[in-house]
Chain A
Amino acid sequence: MLLFVLRRFYQTVIVVIGVVLVISLLMASLPGDVARMRAPKGASEETLENIRKKFNLDKPWLTRLWIYLSGLPRLDLGDSFTYKRPVMDIIGESLPWSVRLAIAAEIIIVIFGILAGVISAVSRYSFLDVLVTISTSVLVAMPIYWIGRLMQLFFSQWLHWFPPSGAPPPGTGFWGSIPYYVMPAAALAAVSTAYVARLARSSMLEVLRQDYIVTARAKGLSERRVIYKHALKNGLIPVVTYLGIDFGVLIGAAVLTEMIFNWPGVGHKLYFAVIQRDHTMVIGLVFILVLIFVTINLLVDISYAFLDPRIRLGESPEVA
C-alpha cells in the first residue's frame, strides 16, 4: 500500500514538474509587445519602458523564464496586468465560488446521472431507455454555453423560476441561495450527467450478467432487492471513479458556464483575462487549476487503492 502511494506520488511530482515547465515556457514566449497593448493609447516611449521594467519584459527570454520559475515555490504567479494585483490574491477570492458551484454540479450529476443510468439498464430497450440514450447523446453534442442560454430563456425569461444569473448577494441564507445555484450547476453538470448515465448503464448491464446476480435471483430475492442490494454496489464502482476525477474538471472547465451565468468564480476571471489579453493572469489561473486537477486525481487513485485491493497490487489493466 505504502509502495503504491509512493509510486503514485512520484508520478504526480513528475507530471507537476512537466506542467510547470510547459506553463513557464508558454509564459516566457508570449507574443508581440505586451507593454504596448497594456499602455494607454499614445503613451510615451518612457511609459512603455516603465511597464516593460515592471513586468520584466525588458529582460531576455531565459531570464524571464527563470524569474517566473523562481517565483513559483513562493506561489508568486506575478501580477495581473489588468487588476494590478498579484494573480494569487485574485484566485484566493474566486476559487471558493468555483468549488461551491462544482459541488452543486456534482450533486446534480450523482442524482440524475445514476438514476437515469440505472433505470435504463434495468428496463433495457424500453421507452425510457431509448429516451435516456437519445437525450444523453444530444447533451454531449451541445455547446455548453448554449445549454446555459437555453436554460436562461426557458426557466428564467419565460417561467421565472430562477434568477437569470449571478451569485447570491451577500447575506443570503443557505436556502435562499439555492435558486441561484440551480441553473449554473445544471449547465455545468449537463455533459458529465450524460457520461455518468451512459457509464452507469453499461456498467450495470455488465454486472447484471454476473453469476452472483443469477444466484441472488435463484434464491428467490425480489427483483428490487437484487438490483439495489447486489447489483448497484458493484455496478457503480466505475461511476464513482469517474465522479472523483470529474470534480477537478468541473472546477477547471467551468469557464463557459461561469461566463454565461456571470458567476464570480475562477472561470469568470479566466474568461476576462483571455478577452483582455491579460497573459500573466491566464497562465497563472490555468496553472492553479491544473494543479488542483492533478491533486484530485492523485487523491482519487489513493483512496481507490484503499477500497480495491486489486489496484494496489498492480492488477489493474490501466497501469499506463
Chain B
Amino acid sequence: MTDRKRPEDYLPGKEPPEFLGPEVEKFEAELEKERVHGRTALWRDVWYRLRHNKMAMAGMVIIALLILVAIFAPLLAPYDPVEQVEIRTPGGVKQPPSAKHWLGTDALGRDILSRLIYGSRISVEVGIVAVVISLVIGLFFGALAGYFGGWADSVIMRSADVFFAFPTVLGAIAIMTVLGPGLINVFIAIGVLGWATIARIFRGSILSVKENDYVEAARALGASHSRIIWRHIMPNAIQPIIVYATMSVGGAILAEAWLAFLGLGQQPPTPSWGNMLAEYLPFYNTHPWMMFIPGTAIVISVLAFILLGDGLRDALDPRLRGSV
C-alpha cells in the first residue's frame, strides 16, 4: 500500500513521536475493515442475534441435515426405494422395525427407511422451487405496484385480492384439477398461489422505504428506476420477505403432503413424504407405527422452517420479539 497515510499526516509539520506509529496503523486497519464490511454490518448483527437463539439454531441444524440427506440420498439409503425387496418373503410386508429394515417395510415389502430418505428430496424440491416461483412473481409485481403506484398498483393489488379470495386448499385443488396431477404441477400450483402475499408484503415495505431521503437523493443523482429499486430500496424492504419466505418453505412441504393425500402430488411408486403418509394412513388401526414415520418427518421439517423464520424475524427486528 503506497497511498497509505503515514502518522506524520495526522500531525502536520511535526515529527511523529515514535510510539504513535503502531497505534495509528491499528486504528487505520480498523477503519479499513469497517469500510469494507460496512454494508454487511446489518447481516453480521442479524447473524449474531440468530446464533444466540437456540430454537432458531435447532431449526437451522435440522434444515441443514434435511438438505444433506436429500443430496446424498443414494449413498445413505440401504435399499432401492422402489424395489419390493421383501414382497416374496413370508411375513415380509408391513414388517415392524428390525435390524435388517430399521423402519420396517411397507405394504409392498419396500424398505421404509430408504423411501423416507429418497422422499426428503421431493420435500426439499417442493419447498425451494415453489417458494422461488412465488418470490419471482411476488417481488416483481410487488415492486411494480409499490414503486410506481397509480394504475399499475390498482391492477396488481386487485388481482392479488382475487388470489386472496381462494383459501390455499381450494386454490390448489382448482389449479391441480386443470393441470392434472404430478410434481411439476404441484410446484406451479403452490408457487402461483403464494405470490399475492409476497407482493402485498413487499409493496407495503417499499411504500414505507420509498419516502426516505436517501431514495430521493439517489433519484436526484440520476439513478435509474431499476438501480433505485434493487440497490437502494430492496436491501431495506426485503427483511419481512425473508422471514415470510422461510416460513413458506414449511408451508409448501405441508401442502405437498395434503396434495398427495388427494392423489394430486408426486405419483407412486416414487416416494414422497406426502404419498407415504397417505399410503400408510389406512393401516392406522392395524399397523399404527407406519404413519408415524413420514408424519414425524413432515412435522419436524416444517417445524424447523417455522423456528428459523421466527428466529430470523426476531433477529432482523428485535422490537418485534414475541409477536405472531
Contact = CB atoms under 8 A, between A and B. Distances in A.
Contacts of B176: 274
Contacts of B258: 143-145, 256
Contacts of A29: 178
A248 interface: yes
Contacts of A142: 295, 298-299, 302
B162 A18 contact: yes
A25 to B, nearest CB: 9
A47 interface: no
A320 B170 contact: no
Given A143-B258, A146-B277, A270-B173, A249 B167 contact: yes
A143 B257 contact: yes
Interface string B243-268: 00000001000100110011110000
Contacts of A248: 167
Contact residue range for chain A? 35 or more
Contact of A149 (B291, B299, B302, B323): B291
A199 B324 contact: yes
B135 to A, nearest CB: 19
B262 A274 contact: yes
Interface of chain B: mostly helix, strand, loop or mixed: helix
Nearest to A251: B167
A128 interface: no
B306 A141 contact: yes
A26 B306 contact: no
B212 interface: no
B238 interface: no
A166 to B, nearest CB: 16
B263 A275 contact: yes
B257 to A, nearest CB: 4
B174 A255 contact: no
Contacts of A143: 254, 257-258, 261, 274, 277, 295, 298
Contacts of B170: 252-253, 255, 286, 289-290
A67 interface: no
Contacts of A289: 167, 170
A30 B291 CA distance: 35
A17 to B, nearest CB: 9
A201 B322 CA distance: 9
A105 interface: no
Interface stretch (B18-26, B30-38, B97-105, B153-161): B153-161
A144 B298 CA distance: 12
A274 B264 contact: yes
A139 to B, nearest CB: 9
Given A14-B158, A249-B167, A252-B167, A146 B177 contact: no
B217 to A, nearest CB: 27
Nearest to A147: B295
A102 interface: no
A26 B180 CA distance: 12
A313 B162 CA distance: 25
Contacts of B254: 141, 143
Most chain B Cβ neighbours within 10 Å, of A141, A195, A271: A141
**Which size bracket describes the interface of B in this complex?**
35 or more
A146 B200 CA distance: 32
Interface in A237-289: 248-249, 252-253, 255-256, 259, 270-271, 274-275, 277, 279, 282-283, 286, 289
A89 B277 CA distance: 34
A145 B263 contact: no
A20 to B, nearest CB: 10
A56 interface: no
Given A30-B178, A283-B177, A15 B323 contact: no
A154 to B, nearest CB: 10
A279 B85 CA distance: 39
Interface string B295-324: 100111011001100000000000000111
21 contacts: A11-B158, A11-B161, A15-B158, A15-B164, A23-B174, A26-B177, A141-B250, A141-B254, A142-B299, A142-B302, A145-B258, A146-B277, A152-B284, A195-B324, A202-B322, A274-B173, A275-B262, A279-B178, A286-B171, A290-B170, A320-B203
Given A18-B158, A141-B254, 14 more contacts: A26-B178, A137-B306, A140-B302, A141-B299, A198-B324, A202-B322, A252-B170, A274-B177, A275-B262, A289-B167, A293-B167, A294-B165, A320-B157, A320-B200
Interface of A: 11, 14-16, 18-19, 22-23, 26, 29-32, 137-138, 140-146, 149, 152-153, 157, 195, 198-199, 201-202, 205-206, 248-249, 252-253, 255-256, 259, 270-271, 274-275, 277, 279, 282-283, 286, 289-290, 293-294, 320
Interface of B: 157-159, 161-162, 164-171, 173-180, 200, 203-204, 250, 254, 257-258, 261-264, 274, 277, 281, 284-285, 288, 291, 295, 298-300, 302-303, 306-307, 322-324
